[in-house]
Structure 1
Amino acid sequence: MKKVIMFALSILLVGVLAACGTSEEASTGSGSGENSDKKVLTMGTSADYPPFEYVDSAKGEEIIGFDVDLAKAIAEKLGYEIQVKDMDFNGLIPALETNQVDFVLSGMTPTEERKQNVDFSDVYYTASHMIVSKKGSGIESLEDLNGKTLGVQLASIQADKAEEIGETVDMKVENRNRIPELIQEIMADRFDAAMIEDIVAKGYFEKNEDLAGFTIEEAEAEAGSAMAFPKGSELTEKFNAELVKMKENGELEDLIVKWFDNK
């Protein structure tokens, strides 16, 4: 009887050990399937900014765009997979600070204020600001914004620029979370105009012939867009090194041509 009990306990122990081994194997690696040896990084973005990041509903629900392609290209070289997380632009830096995302790629300008909270890569793209309004609005210069309402995206570089312009132009500035909301407010005559990055604005001009705009002439070049990382992240140097290589070998230029030159 004792031998039977000991044999049963041995079988039970083998089963327990086997189960523990299976659980431990399943917990290693963040990926799935044939790419299970790759670690998954979460990229924070605000998917309302075509052609940088957006959803083409006619083709599906996947977030696509220049920034997404850039992130995936660099991640592939470093042996990572990318998971894209969409959120409001003003929530991106807080998401980095609370480790909700590993990095941000969302057309973000590396301002001195932002650098106090996060680290940035080198600039990967430079654009200009554009004032967008309805055709026939009479808004053709910054002076024409006197007495008008200008919309900007909350926490964006355009919001900072509007504050600067407001020192010499008597206008009202209102914020919205997403770029499409700014366009909607213009079309509903609640905003007289909005300030949007030029390449993004041109995409809306192609879709809506009732819109027009002009580029703000700058005394010096804007700081451009860069990738953002949590303070002290080891990813900053790794991603930046690959970005430099892509600039040198023409891969970055190829992505720019793909997403911007046909817009």
Structure 2
Amino acid sequence: MRLVSTVGFTLIAAMLAGCVTAPASTSATAPVAPSHLDTVQAAATLRICTPGDYKPFSFQKADGSYEGIDVDLMNGFAASLGAKPAWVKTTWANLLPDLAAGKCDMAVGGVSVTTDRQKKAFFSAPYMVNGKTPIARCADVAKYTSVAAIDQPGTRVIFNPGGSNERFARANFKRAQMTLHGENITIFDEILAGRADVFVTEAAEALTQQKLKPGLCAVNPDKPLQYGEMGWMLPRDDVAFKAYVDQWLHLNQAGGDFQRTMDRWLK
């Protein structure tokens, strides 16, 4: 049996001592912030940012309450955490800043998944494919079947500020007459009144508004101008919360409740 020399033993002892004391150097690091998964349960309140102007996802009624696909889903999601939903009114321009500032635990209401937003926030797994689709007066549907057809000097394009609709309009329409309209709710009335010709939004909204506004028609909603997905926007770096959100959504879809919610609003 070989014996370890005194020098060797001293070296090994020093190495072991270093191994034992090394973790102590990490104890001074900043404490990890608690996950929203914990804080929501502790507060029994889920704070949800939404613009509340986007049927059929989230719409604020005259009495101040909210309705829509995301509203129904959030009621179930909040209940799974033993919490009640608390709606935080915002705008599309302030949706991401309000989430990043901690004014809410998540943001919903027909939010398109984009790489620009992904730089500053997490997204849930997408729950809907919902591409960009024009809506126009029914008599004019044949005029606006492509980006090139819309982007003509005589076309009056209207769009709402702060979200993916504005980004799409500014990126794709260079020759058309462009009008920024502050209220998403009344854009459709502008088209009916003849003060604008076409608005490009998500297919689900276009289909919903053609039912609500006789005289307006979605243009080829089954063949959108641009592929798009929708999801819920979540605080960046909160891995535990995102994992819970995704698993709840998966189980809700697999169990059929999700589809029943969609059918209630889209059929």
Alpha-carbon spacing, 1:151–1:193, altered in 2? closer, same or farther (3 Å): same
Deviations 1:143-179 (A, max 9, x none): 4321122122223222232234326xx2133333432
User: In the alignment, is residue 119 of structure 1 matched against residue 122 of structure 2?
Assistant: yes
TM-score, normalised on structure 2? 0.74
CA distance in 2, matches of 1:159, 1:37: 38
Conserved 8 A contact 1:109-1:223: yes
Alpha-carbon spacing, 1:236–1:37, altered in 2? closer, same or farther (3 Å): closer
- After TM superposition, the structure 1 = structure 2 runs for residues 178-217 of structure 1, keeping only pairs within 5 Å, are 178-215=183-220, 217=223
User: In the alignment, is residue 248 of structure 1 matched against residue 251 of structure 2?
Assistant: no
Percent of aligned pairs sharing the same letter: 17
Q: Displaced runs of 4+ in structure 1, greater than 6 A?
A: none
Letter paired with 1:238 = Y
- Structure 1 gaps of 5+ residues are 1-29
Displacement, 1:242? 0.7
Equivalent residue for 2:228? 223
CA distance in 2, matches of 1:238, 1:39: 16
TM-score, normalised on structure 1? 0.75
Equivalent residue for 1:89? 92
User: Aligned pair count?
Assistant: 223
Equivalent residue for 1:151? 158
Displacement, 1:193? 1.2
SS in 2 for 1:73: helix
Letter paired with 2:133 = M
CA distance in 2, matches of 1:118, 1:129: 22
SS in 2 for 1:178: coil
- After TM superposition, the structure 1 = structure 2 runs for residues 8-27 of structure 1, keeping only pairs within 5 Å, are none
CA distance in 2, matches of 1:37, 1:218: 43
Deviations 1:122-162 (A, max 9, x none): 00122232212223346332343211221222232222322
Conserved 8 A contact 2:203-2:218: no
> Of 42, 51, 74, which aligns to 1:46?
51
CA distance in 1, matches of 2:263, 2:211: 18
Deviations 1:66-113 (A, max 9, x none): 101111111211222111122211211010111111110111112111
Equivalent residue for 1:160? 167
User: In the alignment, is residue 77 of structure 1 matched against residue 80 of structure 2?
Assistant: yes
